[in-house]
Amino acid sequence: MTGKGRDLADVMERRKVDILCVQETRWKGSKARSIGAGFKLFYYGVDSKRNGVGVVLKEEFVRNVLEVKRVSDRVMSLNLEIEGVMLNVVSGYAPQVGCELEEKERFWSELDEVMESIPTGERVVIGADFNGHVGEGNTGDEEVMGKFGVKERNLEGQMVVDFAKRMDMAVVNTYFQKREEHRVTYKSGGRRTQVDYILCRRGNLKEISDCKVVVGESVARQHRMVVCRMTLMVCKKKRSEIEKKTKWWKLKKEECCEEFRQKLRQALGGQVVLPDDWETTAEVIRETGRKVLGVSSGRRKEDKETWWWNEEVQDSIQRKRLAKKKWDMDRTEENRQEYKELQRRVKREVSKAKQKAYDELYTRLDTREGEKDLYRLARQRDRDGKDVQQVRVIKDRDGRVLTSEESVQRRWKEYFEELMNEENEREKRVEGVNSVEQKVDKIRKDEVRKALKRMKSGKAVGPDDIPVEVWKCLGEAAVEFLASLFNRVLESERMPEEWRRSVLVPIFKNKGDVQSCSNYRGIKLMSHTMKLWERVVEARLRKVVEICEQQYGFMPRKSTTDAIFALRILMEKYRDGQRELHCVFVDLEKAYDRVPREELWYCMRKSGVAEKYVRVVQDMYERSRTVVRCAVGQTEEFNVEVGLHQGSALSPFLFAIVMDQLSEEVRQESPWTMMFADDIVICSESRKQVEENLERWRFALERRGMKVSRSKTEYMCVNEREGSGTVRLQGEEVKKVQEFKYLGSTVQSNGECGKEVKKRVQAGWNGWRKVWGVLCDQKISARIKGKVYKTVVRAAMLYGLETVSLRKRQESELEVAELKMLRFSLGVTRLDRIRNEYIRGTAHVGRLGDKVREARLRWFGHVQRRENESKFEALFGKLGRHVIRTKEDKDNPSCYQRSVQKPASLMVWGCMSACGMGSLHIWKGTINAERGIENVSGRDPGTLDSTGVEKGTYQVSGGPINSQRRGRFSGYGIILQEIMEGFKEGHMERGGNSVGGKKMEAIGDRIDLVGDPEEADELGAEFTAWKLKSKVLG
């Protein structure tokens, strides 16, 4: 298949072939890729020198693929749904005559298994190179073959006939009387045989109207294409059109933005003063956007894989095709030489055209503007490599597969309408709560500006088709209009009806059955202007409502890292003290979707929210309607009367208010109780106590309409002793686990972190596979690859490692995985004998161990900059009083001691401030582990020799702690290291500023040499001030 993809697609397009089975692809891997002209190849192979099978589909059938089964490099199958008809396409490549009998038996066994797995009522078509002759005549085998074969039957041909009898199949080739030229599928030298066959079920043989060999095509040198015409009895229906959309993305260009403003000014009578009413303004904006920016065609995107396929290449291929046909008709040496010469010329022209087109592409990608397209290219290549891109069939309640578009739409509507309108059982509140009636200030322009600044661009628009980019483009005029609009909404407590509509998009959770609705999460696409209104209201509510310190989710100055660290440090301290710690991880069923609206209004009033805001939020949820957008179109509209809006800007904070009020009487102080939105952790020193706490939580939540999941709630005992038992919830035993994935980080009951390290490595490889199309492209520069790697892959590997106590072996395990990825990306193997530091330097990627330490210091600086966070200080030392420490675990010091406590006790606050901790920007620059990696000449890794010395183009130094670095913070690592040594040797006093000894004078002199005085920065100024204050200079 190498170099034949576009040629094959061209033949299929010209011969009007929709589905094609190919053999001997000799491509290694199990992916899908476009080969041009809208055709897509699904292939599988384990060796690039032999075997390999595949199936090519026309574009209109790609969306109908339900499942791809890759059995081996000789057998694979595709399951398609075509207008309600289930069609299975099997591609096979039987071993040649000279192969071992065991290999032949294995092939037929695999083919039998595939056939047995296909339901009897589904259609099957097998296209295979069986390497056998079924022969002329059909005496005794009339039920499985016709009499129009070629030559005599051999042993391999008898295996084909036996297989057809076993599976009630028919050999289609032999049923149609054709000239021998249209029956021979293999020509080599003087041999003319029939080894390629098409098989179908005997009951469906009547659907095939013709079958013959295509003569005159030059795709394969020896084999010739066998085609058959099959008519499926389906109902013809109108092809669904793609919704036409305004090209709002063009507003990123300044010239388009300016033109849009001018046209809008003309539409409004010469000035950008938007009308007072929303309906008029929205229509003017939409109409102007369509005129200025244009709309999409409503057709599917054209094939982009072979955009380099120019006219010169097509003309050359046409001449080669005619020469092949001429040679087939007259087998003279002159015709043969002409065909061979044209074949070589076409290869050269294709290579030149491809090289020229890709050179232009990669030159653009290497610019700052082109980098934005790089991630889009990576996502596109990742999508193209997937077998099933859209799930067009779904299962009903009873597990039956629904195939028609109408039934699939009804099922999606049925599922989400039930989900979003069903409440759990709860007690009706008898007591009331006093509402807070107070005057509410008008919405100010600066509030709108802040909300607008927080809105991200490039997001999917809601039903009103007005993105946030419009308001950002209009600038101050938009701020004035929005402030006026929001004040009218606030005063009237009624928002525009257009904002009440939304589009719900099911997102697969990447677990479970892809055809089950319950494995999808619904995200609503709402009006961007409504989201702006929600952000303004949210900012005001946050000033009034104080959420408990146990809530870490969607709270300012808090993150998942804080919650993970709190849990890990609690577990490690109990492990050090040889005490049991019992943890229950509580999961709520459909938490957002099952929040009772009455409970939400009650909790808001009880939290002190003004009644005006309560009514405003109630108005956001009144008469809300949505439709489900699935792969087969949009469903009918239905009302949503229960739960919070998924995808809303205000919903996370509203949910935090509900959880804060419902847990007020049952929660304990952090870290014994921690919440991250609906993820709850309950910890206690005894099993009985944690069981009682769990029951109290269950009662408090379920009496108000929330439900604790019995199947997903799990229990873990840290430092468990024999016979500690388990935990029960209403008499039902809670699942006991030895490890749990908490907020994406795996914690283990034995206090180890080996499983988490392996999960980080796996997460890194998963991210690498998503962008492998870019990272493994040798035409993309190493600098760009390094940037993509750090953005996608390394971010996944570093998640949560600030809280993990890594041993040297585990840190090495992470670095080994990283270097494998980098070597793969740069096309370098260990046999090239290039040192690791030159690999990192080429990609401009620092050591992962240094990046872990940088992440810890960055998070530590973030914690130290907090104000009035006395509760969090318990995690930094005061927590120890809860545990009777009996033993010092010297072999495995806790993450807190190794990573934070010891460095913090050695670095006085003055020293850390001198290094920039007081400023987030300076501190991040100070601890940057990659500042020491310098690009000396910018050459590619291919210029490195075996040692990387003479041709080495990059110079690499270590991380922030281990070695001296270059730049304005050079020498920082050595300085801190020597300061620590000074503490240890008694030259410096902890907690004070007095310093003595010649050692610190030398350090001070080195600090003075950090940079030129004319280029003094905050580091030099602060450090000099601290040094003078400490009387370092004699």
Residue 720 CA to residue 827 CA, distance in Å, equals 48
User: Which alpha helices (DSSP H) does 202-277 contain, by range?
Assistant: 254-267
| 387-to-30, 61, 631 alpha-carbon distances in Å | 9, 12, 15
- CB neighbours of residue 577 within 10 Å: 18
Q: Is-cis flag, bond preceding 671, omega within 30?
A: yes
- Looking at residue 551, the DSSP 8-state letter turns out to be B
User: Which segment of 576-580, 820-824, 875-879, 928-932 scores lowest on mean pLDDT?
Assistant: 875-879
pTM for the model stands at 0.74
Residue 764 CA to residue 818 CA, distance in Å, equals 8
Boundaries of CATH 3.60.10.10 in the chain? 5-230
User: What's the token pair of residue 862?
Assistant: 């973030």
- 417-438 pLDDT, tens digit per residue, is 999 998 888 988 877 777 788 8
User: Which segment of 279-293, 373-387, 750-764, 846-860 scores lowest on mean pLDDT?
Assistant: 373-387
* 3-state SS, residue 362: helix
HSE-up (13 A, CA, CB side) for residue 985: 13
Write the CATH number of the domain with boundaries 5-230: 3.60.10.10
705 sits in the region (left: phi over 0; alpha: psi -120 to 50; else beta) called left
Whole-number percent of the chain with pLDDT over 70: 78
Report which of residues 875 and 849 the model is more confident about: 849
> 3-state SS string over 976-1032?
HHHHHHHHHHCCECCCCCCECCHHHHHHHHHHHCCCCHHHCCHHHHHHHHHHHHCCC
pLDDT at 241: 56
User: Is the pLDDT reported for residue 950 higher than 50?
Assistant: no
Contacts 24+ apart (CB under 8 A), 345-354: 345/316, 345/320, 346/313, 346/316, 346/317, 346/320, 347/3, 349/312, 349/313, 349/316, 350/3, 350/6, 350/313, 353/308, 353/309, 353/310, 353/312, 353/313, 354/308
Strand partners, 501: 625
Whole-number percent of the chain with pLDDT over 90: 43
User: What's the token pair of residue 656?
Assistant: 């935090």
Report which of residues 529 and 831 the model is more confident about: 529
User: Is the pLDDT reported for residue 898 higher than 60?
Assistant: no
CB 144 within 8 A of CB 128: no
Residue 270 CA to residue 1033 CA, distance in Å, equals 69
- 530-566 pLDDT, tens digit per residue, is 999 999 999 999 999 999 999 999 998 888 999 999 9
Q: Per this entry, what is the length of the chain?
A: 1034
Residue 186, C-beta contacts closer than 8 angstroms, at least 6 positions apart? 192, 193, 194, 195, 196, 222, 223, 224
Of 237, 207, 626, the C-alpha closest to 404 is: 237
Residue 230, C-beta contacts closer than 8 angstroms, at least 6 positions apart? 125, 200, 207, 208, 209
Site of tokens 């101050």: 476
User: Is the pLDDT reported for residue 83 higher than 60?
Assistant: yes
Percentages helix, strand, coil for the chain (3-state, rounded to 5) are 45, 15, 40
DSSP string for residues in 400-412: PEE-SHHHHHHHH
> 3-state SS string over 579-644?
CCEEEEEECECCCHHHCCHHHHHHHHHHCCCEHHHHHHHHHHHCCCEEEEEECCEECCCEECCCCC
Q: φ, ψ for residue 395 (rounded to 5)?
A: -100, 145
